[in-house]
Amino acid sequence: MISFSNQVKRELCTTITDGDKAYACLYGMLLFARQLRQDEIVLQSESDAFSTLMPRLFRRVFGDRVQPRMESSEHGMLYTLSVSDPEQVHTVLELYHITLPERPLQMTNVVTNSLGAFTAGAFLSCGSMTDPNKEYHLEFALPCVQLEEPLSQILLAIGVNAKTVLRKGMPVVYLKNSEQIEDLLTFMGAQQGTIDFINVEILKNVRNKANRISNCDMANINKVMLAAERQIRDILLIDERMGLDALPPDLQQMALLRLDNPELSLKELGELLDPPIGRSGVNHRLRRLQELADSLRTSS
């Protein structure tokens, strides 16, 4: 079963539809590539859409000047694109003005309407997200510390305030706020991914609310039962010491009604009386029975 992260990446691969987006997306993928050296470029992904997108991007941007090699693992679980010819690597680095090892971000490579495609390229290279059914978490595991600041600034420009943590000495820029993850998915072009994410969030909220209501109902039921047990003990003590016939009619009626209906709430008990009385009236009568039972206990 394809993961939620790979579903998003598969969708992103379908959104790179024009020359500006292709140029910006490829720049994002190269700049955030795990392996980018003077003699070799290696890009890897678990997304099958990656294997068709990458050769297309290279042809669109470089024509025949750069000829990457695409390989897949034995079971097709990992796709690798590599450029190992030094002259072709130089062509790539020169066109995008990429200097190593610092990798400074050159915003001249990204026109305004392609910033989302550039960010999508970065996500395709080093990003991932957890299934929202489990938790809300999207991250960029960066290949070098110099990229943390420019990526955070790009995200901040669209209202996404990311956090950073070090993992094995390298920065990981991450989001855990559901609304900000939705904003970023939309910004990168994953419209369906955003919709699917929101649907999961809605379903989780409904389930959580239902659980809270259920827990509240159970707590109320337990409260009613504990109160009824105490009231029945009082009534049985009164019956033993003086007999229920000795009670005033209103208290005798209430005592017998409680003994016959231990599961009912005060409101439900009041509705059975003739004439019916409210919850406060029932509570008043039961409190009088409790006070009588307490006086019998202290006098014994």
Domain borders along the chain are 4-189, 211-299
Label residue 171 by pLDDT band (50, 70, 90): very high
> Dihedral angle at the C-alpha atoms of 29, 185, 45, 36, nearest 10 degrees?
20
pLDDT of residue 166 exceeding 90, the answer is yes
- Residue keyed to tokens 């003699």: 39
Beta bridge partner(s), residue 212: none
Label residue 1 by pLDDT band (50, 70, 90): low
As given in the structure block, the two tokens for residue 31 are: 């700049």
pLDDT of residue 152 exceeding 90, the answer is yes
Q: What is the pLDDT of residue 299?
A: 81
Label residue 23 by pLDDT band (50, 70, 90): very high
- Average pLDDT, rounded, for the chain: 88
- The neighbour count for residue 132, using CB atoms within 10 Å, is 22
Give tens-digit pLDDT for 233-260.
888 888 888 888 889 989 899 888 888 8
Give tens-digit pLDDT for 27-76.
999 999 989 999 999 998 888 888 888 889 999 999 989 988 888 877 76
Spatial distance between the Cα atoms of 12 and 18, rounded to a whole number of angstroms: 13
pLDDT of residue 226 exceeding 90, the answer is no
pLDDT of residue 189 exceeding 80, the answer is yes
- The neighbour count for residue 298, using CB atoms within 10 Å, is 6
pLDDT of residue 208 exceeding 80, the answer is no
Q: What is the pLDDT of residue 65?
A: 93
Q: Which residue has the higher pLDDT, 217 or 202?
A: 202
Q: What is the pLDDT of residue 68?
A: 87
pLDDT of residue 300 exceeding 70, the answer is no
Question: CATH for 4-189?
Answer: 3.10.28.10
